[in-house]
Amino acid sequence: MSTAAPDSTSYYPAAPTGLRRPAIIAAVVVAVVIGISIAVGHIWFAVFFVAGTVAIFVNAILVRRAVEVVAAQEHPRKQALAVNSAVRLGAITVLALVAAFLVRPDGLGAMFGLAIGQVVLVLNTVIPVMKGLRKQL
């Protein structure tokens, strides 16, 4: 295992923040889910899946805007950002759980849409950063 020299500075590659690539990946996954849902006769599962996936992308856009607003302040506070994110994620989760319980079993599509959308967004950020860090070694 190699270690950095004491006088060297660490470089962290920039994380991609664009939503174009994850949107394309999510659209492909959504198309597959719609096809399978229609084939097995559960079109409402696909509708809820799409709603969950869209909710994650809307949340990502709202997070970006909230960060821009907080960062533009003279004395930015992380607490405002944390409360904003917690309220938004809580609302999205409650709506997905309500759909899952009220429209069984197809309402579970909302939960799966949230999960798959979040995985796509996280992997879109993590994989390029990890590749960049690996190149430093």
Residue whose C-alpha is closest to residue 93's, from 80, 107, 110, 76? 110
Is a pLDDT exceeding 60 seen at residue 64? yes
pTM value is 0.82
> How far from the centroid of its chain's Cα atoms is residue 80's Cα?
20
Report pLDDT for 81. 85
Read out DSSP for 96-128?
HHHHHHHSTTTTHHHHHHHHHHHHHHHHHHHHH
Q: What is the pLDDT of residues 71-116, one digit of tens each?
A: 888 888 888 888 888 899 999 999 999 999 999 999 999 999 999 9
Q: Which residues, 6 or more positions from 8, have their beta carbon under 8 angstroms from its beta carbon?
A: none
Distances (CA, A) of 102 to 49, 58, 89, 93, 111: 15, 23, 20, 14, 13
Q: Which residues, 6 or more positions from 51, have their beta carbon under 8 angstroms from its beta carbon?
A: 99, 109, 110, 113
Give 11's DSSP letter: -
Report pLDDT for 15. 64
